[in-house]
Protein backbone atom coordinates (compact mmCIF):
# COMPACT_ATOMS: atom_id res chain seq x y z
CA UNK A 1 0.00 0.00 0.00
CA UNK A 2 2.84 2.34 0.90
CA UNK A 3 4.56 1.61 -2.45
CA UNK A 4 1.36 2.39 -4.38
CA UNK A 5 0.93 5.64 -2.48
CA UNK A 6 4.52 6.60 -3.22
CA UNK A 7 4.03 5.90 -6.93
CA UNK A 8 0.85 7.99 -7.05
CA UNK A 9 2.62 10.89 -5.35
CA UNK A 10 5.58 10.61 -7.75
CA UNK A 11 3.28 10.64 -10.78
CA UNK A 12 1.36 13.62 -9.40
CA UNK A 13 4.60 15.53 -8.82
CA UNK A 14 5.75 14.66 -12.35
CA UNK A 15 2.48 15.90 -13.88
CA UNK A 16 2.64 19.12 -11.87
CA UNK A 17 6.27 19.63 -12.95
CA UNK A 18 5.42 19.15 -16.65
CA UNK A 19 2.41 21.47 -16.49
CA UNK A 20 4.44 24.04 -14.57
CA UNK A 21 7.21 23.88 -17.16
CA UNK A 22 4.70 24.31 -20.00
CA UNK A 23 3.21 27.45 -18.41
CA UNK A 24 6.55 28.90 -17.31
CA UNK A 25 7.60 30.06 -20.79
CA UNK A 26 11.16 28.94 -20.09
CA UNK A 27 11.47 26.79 -23.22
CA UNK A 28 12.51 28.77 -26.31
CA UNK A 29 10.08 27.93 -29.12
CA UNK A 30 11.57 30.34 -31.68
CA UNK A 31 12.45 28.89 -35.08
CA UNK A 32 15.78 30.74 -34.94
CA UNK A 33 17.12 28.49 -32.18
CA UNK A 34 17.76 24.74 -32.38
CA UNK A 35 16.21 22.08 -30.19
CA UNK A 36 18.33 20.68 -27.42
CA UNK A 37 20.10 17.39 -28.17
CA UNK A 38 17.66 15.24 -26.22
CA UNK A 39 14.58 16.93 -27.71
CA UNK A 40 16.01 16.63 -31.21
CA UNK A 41 16.77 12.93 -30.66
CA UNK A 42 13.31 12.27 -29.22
CA UNK A 43 11.45 13.97 -32.09
CA UNK A 44 13.67 12.49 -34.80
CA UNK A 45 13.51 8.95 -33.42
CA UNK A 46 9.74 9.15 -32.92
CA UNK A 47 9.23 10.49 -36.45
CA UNK A 48 11.38 7.85 -38.16
CA UNK A 49 9.76 5.00 -36.23
CA UNK A 50 6.27 6.29 -36.99
CA UNK A 51 6.93 6.70 -40.73
CA UNK A 52 8.50 3.24 -40.94
CA UNK A 53 5.52 1.64 -39.22
CA UNK A 54 2.82 3.49 -41.17
CA UNK A 55 4.49 2.86 -44.54
CA UNK A 56 4.47 -0.93 -44.17
CA UNK A 57 0.86 -1.07 -45.35
CA UNK A 58 1.49 0.83 -48.59
CA UNK A 59 1.71 -0.96 -51.95
CA UNK A 60 4.26 0.61 -54.29
CA UNK A 61 3.42 0.79 -58.02
CA UNK A 62 5.81 -0.16 -60.81
CA UNK A 63 8.39 2.60 -61.37
CA UNK A 64 9.80 1.12 -64.60
CA UNK A 65 7.89 3.67 -66.69
CA UNK A 66 10.31 6.58 -67.24
CA UNK A 67 7.37 8.91 -67.88
CA UNK A 68 6.41 8.62 -64.22
CA UNK A 69 9.66 10.25 -63.07
CA UNK A 70 9.40 12.88 -65.83
CA UNK A 71 5.94 13.79 -64.59
CA UNK A 72 7.35 14.00 -61.08
CA UNK A 73 10.16 16.47 -61.83
CA UNK A 74 7.73 19.29 -62.66
CA UNK A 75 5.74 18.46 -59.54
CA UNK A 76 8.93 18.43 -57.44
CA UNK A 77 9.96 21.76 -58.92
CA UNK A 78 6.64 23.32 -57.87
CA UNK A 79 5.95 21.51 -54.59
CA UNK A 80 9.33 20.69 -53.02
CA UNK A 81 12.12 22.90 -54.38
CA UNK A 82 11.14 25.98 -52.38
CA UNK A 83 11.88 24.38 -49.01
CA UNK A 84 14.28 21.55 -49.89
CA UNK A 85 16.24 23.08 -52.74
CA UNK A 86 17.22 21.22 -55.90
CA UNK A 87 20.46 20.18 -57.62
CA UNK A 88 22.45 23.39 -58.04
CA UNK A 89 19.78 25.47 -56.25
CA UNK A 90 19.48 26.44 -52.59
CA UNK A 91 16.16 26.52 -50.77
CA UNK A 92 14.16 29.71 -51.13
CA UNK A 93 13.76 32.23 -48.28
CA UNK A 94 10.90 30.38 -46.61
CA UNK A 95 12.80 27.11 -46.65
CA UNK A 96 15.92 28.71 -45.18
CA UNK A 97 13.95 29.74 -42.07
CA UNK A 98 12.52 26.32 -41.22
CA UNK A 99 13.42 24.63 -37.93
CA UNK A 100 14.16 21.78 -38.09
CA UNK A 101 15.71 22.43 -41.52
CA UNK A 102 14.07 20.69 -44.45
CA UNK A 103 16.16 17.60 -45.29
CA UNK A 104 18.15 17.11 -48.46
CA UNK A 105 15.74 15.08 -50.57
CA UNK A 106 18.56 13.56 -52.59
CA UNK A 107 19.71 11.87 -49.38
CA UNK A 108 16.16 11.04 -48.30
CA UNK A 109 15.40 9.53 -51.70
CA UNK A 110 18.41 7.23 -51.41
CA UNK A 111 17.88 6.23 -47.76
CA UNK A 112 14.09 5.88 -47.47
CA UNK A 113 11.89 3.31 -49.16
CA UNK A 114 9.42 4.37 -51.83
CA UNK A 115 6.55 3.61 -49.45
CA UNK A 116 8.07 5.81 -46.73
CA UNK A 117 8.62 8.67 -49.16
CA UNK A 118 5.02 8.39 -50.33
CA UNK A 119 3.64 8.36 -46.79
CA UNK A 120 5.57 11.49 -45.82
CA UNK A 121 4.63 13.29 -49.04
CA UNK A 122 0.97 12.44 -48.58
CA UNK A 123 0.61 12.94 -44.82
CA UNK A 124 3.34 15.43 -43.91
CA UNK A 125 5.15 15.61 -40.57
CA UNK A 126 3.78 17.55 -37.60
CA UNK A 127 5.73 20.56 -36.31
CA UNK A 128 8.31 20.47 -39.12
CA UNK A 129 6.73 22.62 -41.82
CA UNK A 130 6.25 19.56 -44.05
CA UNK A 131 2.67 19.80 -45.41
CA UNK A 132 0.29 16.93 -46.08
CA UNK A 133 0.08 17.11 -49.87
CA UNK A 134 -2.63 14.47 -49.73
CA UNK A 135 -5.04 17.21 -48.67
CA UNK A 136 -4.88 18.70 -52.17
CA UNK A 137 -3.49 15.87 -54.34
CA UNK A 138 -4.74 12.33 -54.90
CA UNK A 139 -2.43 9.30 -54.83
CA UNK A 140 -2.00 9.27 -58.61
CA UNK A 141 -0.63 12.83 -58.41
CA UNK A 142 1.88 11.96 -55.66
CA UNK A 143 3.47 8.75 -56.93
CA UNK A 144 5.29 10.58 -59.78
CA UNK A 145 7.01 12.75 -57.15
CA UNK A 146 8.21 9.62 -55.35
CA UNK A 147 9.41 8.11 -58.63
CA UNK A 148 11.47 11.25 -59.24
CA UNK A 149 12.84 11.32 -55.68
CA UNK A 150 14.29 7.84 -56.17
CA UNK A 151 16.34 9.25 -59.09
CA UNK A 152 17.28 12.56 -57.46
CA UNK A 153 20.53 11.38 -55.87
CA UNK A 154 21.95 10.66 -59.34
CA UNK A 155 21.26 14.15 -60.72
CA UNK A 156 23.57 17.15 -60.79
CA UNK A 157 22.47 20.69 -61.71
CA UNK A 158 22.82 20.09 -65.46
CA UNK A 159 21.00 16.77 -65.26
CA UNK A 160 18.16 18.35 -63.30
CA UNK A 161 17.70 21.12 -65.87
CA UNK A 162 17.86 18.62 -68.72
CA UNK A 163 15.18 16.51 -67.08
CA UNK A 164 12.97 19.59 -66.63
CA UNK A 165 13.37 20.34 -70.32
CA UNK A 166 12.45 16.75 -71.26
CA UNK A 167 9.40 16.95 -68.97
CA UNK A 168 7.88 20.03 -70.61
CA UNK A 169 4.13 19.58 -70.84
CA UNK A 170 4.12 16.56 -68.50
CA UNK A 171 2.85 16.23 -64.92
CA UNK A 172 0.16 17.74 -62.73
CA UNK A 173 2.18 20.94 -62.23
CA UNK A 174 3.28 21.39 -65.83
CA UNK A 175 1.42 24.73 -65.98
CA UNK A 176 3.49 26.03 -63.04
CA UNK A 177 6.69 25.12 -64.88
CA UNK A 178 5.43 26.87 -68.01
CA UNK A 179 4.54 30.00 -66.01
CA UNK A 180 7.95 29.99 -64.34
CA UNK A 181 9.67 29.75 -67.71
CA UNK A 182 7.43 32.50 -69.14
CA UNK A 183 8.14 34.74 -66.16
CA UNK A 184 11.87 34.25 -66.66
CA UNK A 185 11.58 35.08 -70.36
CA UNK A 186 9.39 38.10 -69.57
CA UNK A 187 11.98 39.30 -67.09
CA UNK A 188 14.67 39.10 -69.77
CA UNK A 189 12.40 40.96 -72.21
CA UNK A 190 11.62 43.64 -69.62
CA UNK A 191 15.32 44.05 -68.94
CA UNK A 192 15.99 44.54 -72.67
CA UNK A 193 13.16 47.08 -72.88
CA UNK A 194 14.57 48.93 -69.90
CA UNK A 195 18.01 49.05 -71.49
CA UNK A 196 16.45 50.37 -74.70
CA UNK A 197 14.54 53.06 -72.75
CA UNK A 198 17.72 54.15 -70.99
CA UNK A 199 19.61 54.39 -74.28
CA UNK A 200 16.73 56.30 -75.90
CA UNK A 201 16.51 58.70 -72.93
CA UNK A 202 20.25 59.30 -73.01
CA UNK A 203 20.10 59.98 -76.75
CA UNK A 204 17.20 62.42 -76.25
CA UNK A 205 19.05 64.25 -73.50
CA UNK A 206 22.14 64.47 -75.71
CA UNK A 207 20.08 66.02 -78.54
CA UNK A 208 18.56 68.57 -76.13
CA UNK A 209 22.01 69.43 -74.83
CA UNK A 210 23.25 70.06 -78.36
CA UNK A 211 20.23 72.25 -79.07
CA UNK A 212 20.92 74.27 -75.91
CA UNK A 213 24.58 74.68 -76.92
CA UNK A 214 23.55 75.88 -80.40
CA UNK A 215 21.05 78.42 -79.00
CA UNK A 216 23.61 80.94 -77.61
CA UNK A 217 25.58 80.67 -80.84
CA UNK A 218 22.48 81.46 -82.91
CA UNK A 219 21.64 84.36 -80.59
CA UNK A 220 25.18 85.70 -80.91
CA UNK A 221 25.00 85.56 -84.74
CA UNK A 222 21.65 87.40 -84.60
CA UNK A 223 23.14 90.14 -82.37
CA UNK A 224 26.04 90.66 -84.78
CA UNK A 225 23.59 90.91 -87.66
CA UNK A 226 21.62 93.58 -85.78
CA UNK A 227 24.76 95.60 -85.02
CA UNK A 228 25.79 95.56 -88.67
CA UNK A 229 22.35 96.72 -89.67
Q: How far apart are CA 94 and CA 96, in angstroms?
A: 5
Q: State residue 10's pLDDT score.
A: 93
pLDDT of 57 over the 50 cut: yes
Q: How far apart are CA 123 and CA 139, in angstroms?
A: 11
Q: State residue 190's pLDDT score.
A: 44
Q: How far apart are CA 122 and CA 142, in angstroms?
A: 7
At 89, phi and psi to the nearest 5? -135, 130
Spatial contact of 217 and 208, defined as CB atoms under 8 Å apart: no
| Class at the top of the CATH hierarchy for domain 48-172 | mainly alpha
* Three-state SS at 89: strand
Average pLDDT, the chain: 81
- Cα–Cα nearest to 96, from 112, 113, 83: 83
123-172 pLDDT per residue, tens: 999 989 999 999 999 999 999 999 999 999 999 999 999 999 998 877 66
Q: State residue 221's pLDDT score.
A: 47
Q: State residue 226's pLDDT score.
A: 42
86-131 pLDDT per residue, tens: 999 999 998 999 988 999 999 999 999 999 999 999 999 998 999 9
Average pLDDT, stretch 189-205? 49
Degrees (nearest 5) of the Cα angle 150, 86, 34?
Answer: 100
| CB-side neighbour CA atoms (13 Å) of 213 | 6
Average pLDDT, stretch 37-58? 94
Q: State residue 58's pLDDT score.
A: 96
pLDDT of 62 over the 50 cut: yes
Spatial contact of 44 and 141, defined as CB atoms under 8 Å apart: no
Q: State residue 112's pLDDT score.
A: 97
Question: What ranges do the domains of the chain cover?
Answer: 48-172, 173-206
Of 207 and 132, the structure prediction assigns the larger pLDDT to 132
63-80 pLDDT per residue, tens: 888 889 999 999 999 999
Q: How far apart are CA 95 and CA 43, in angstroms?
A: 20
3-17 pLDDT per residue, tens: 889 999 999 999 999
Q: How far apart are CA 225 and CA 222, in angstroms?
A: 5
C-alpha distances (whole Å) from 7 to each of 16, 19, 141 are: 14, 18, 52
Amino acid sequence: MKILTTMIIAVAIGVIAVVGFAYSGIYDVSASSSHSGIVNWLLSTTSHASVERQAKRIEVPDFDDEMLALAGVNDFNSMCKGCHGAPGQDAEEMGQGLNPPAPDLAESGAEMTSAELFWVTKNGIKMTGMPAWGATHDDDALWPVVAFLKKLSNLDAAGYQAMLADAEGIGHHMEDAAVEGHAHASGDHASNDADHDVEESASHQHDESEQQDDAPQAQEEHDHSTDEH
